């Protein structure tokens, strides 16, 4: 093998196949579509889920639930994770937690939960806190700051309707 043979026959862009241009091209007459039938006709397109006439997998499998497009995504973190990731006196905000990759990049609200122990004095800013998380942060000598944002929806005890009489 010689060095000048290495790139022989390699082209940067593949030339498109000119079909239906006579017998000399090798793709004349039926233009690679075969003889007769649905696939040989112009304008043919099949449905994405079409599986040769049998019941498609999409229709065979049962469906459950739904995705609520207006639901707010809440990123959660436990007090024990803050203990491991931050040193005493640090500010804990959604941005600092995101930079340490303790939560994902996409969320609407940031909530701190009380699982684990906290012995460090931290200044925690979040949209929501669980009661146990609040107690543990304050017990360790830290401070809590509620960030402005969407408030969680509180439903009436009677149900979701407002039952106040006029």
All structural domains of the chain with their residue ranges: 74-146
Looking at residue 10, its pLDDT comes to 83
Per the prediction, the chain carries an average pLDDT of 89
Q: What is the pTM of this model?
A: 0.58
b/e per residue 128-154 (b: at least 16 CB within 10 A):
bbbeebbebbeebebeeeeeeeeeeee
pLDDT at 165 over 70: no
Helix (H) or strand (E) holding 146: strand 143-146
According to DSSP, the β-strands at 109-113 and 74-78 are parallel
pLDDT at 162 over 60: no
b/e per residue 16-53 (b: at least 16 CB within 10 A):
eeeeeeeeeeebeeeeebeeeeeeeeeeeeeeeeeeee
pLDDT at 2 over 70: yes
Q: Is 74-146 a domain of CATH 3.100.10.10?
A: yes
Cα 82 to Cα 129: distance, rounded to the nearest angstrom? 13
Express each pLDDT in 49-105 by its tens digit: 899 889 999 999 999 999 999 888 999 999 999 999 999 999 999 999 999 999 999
Looking at residue 128, its pLDDT comes to 94
Cα 21 to Cα 157: distance, rounded to the nearest angstrom? 75
Express each pLDDT in 90-143 by its tens digit: 999 999 999 999 999 999 999 999 999 999 999 999 999 999 999 999 999 999
pLDDT at 7 over 60: yes
């Amino acid at each position: 093998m010689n060095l000048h043979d290495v790139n022989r026959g390699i082209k940067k862009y593949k030339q498109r196949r000119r079909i239906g241009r006579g017998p000399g091209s090798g793709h004349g007459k039926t233009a690679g579509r075969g003889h007769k039938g649905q696939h040989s006709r112009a304008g043919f397109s099949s449905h994405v889920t079409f599986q040769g006439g049998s019941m498609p997998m999409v229709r065979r499998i049962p469906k459950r639930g739904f995705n609520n497009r207006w639901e707010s995504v809440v990123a959660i973190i436990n007090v024990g994770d803050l203990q491991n990731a931050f040193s005493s006196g640090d500010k804990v905000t959604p941005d600092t937690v995101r930079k340490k990759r303790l939560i994902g990049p996409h969320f609407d609200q940031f909530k701190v939960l009380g699982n684990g122990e906290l012995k460090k004095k931290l200044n925690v800013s979040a949209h929501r806190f669980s009661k146990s998380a609040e107690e543990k942060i304050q017990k360790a000598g830290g401070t809590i700051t509620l960030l402005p944002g969407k408030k969680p929806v509180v439903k009436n005890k009677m149900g979701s309707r407002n039952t106040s009489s006029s």
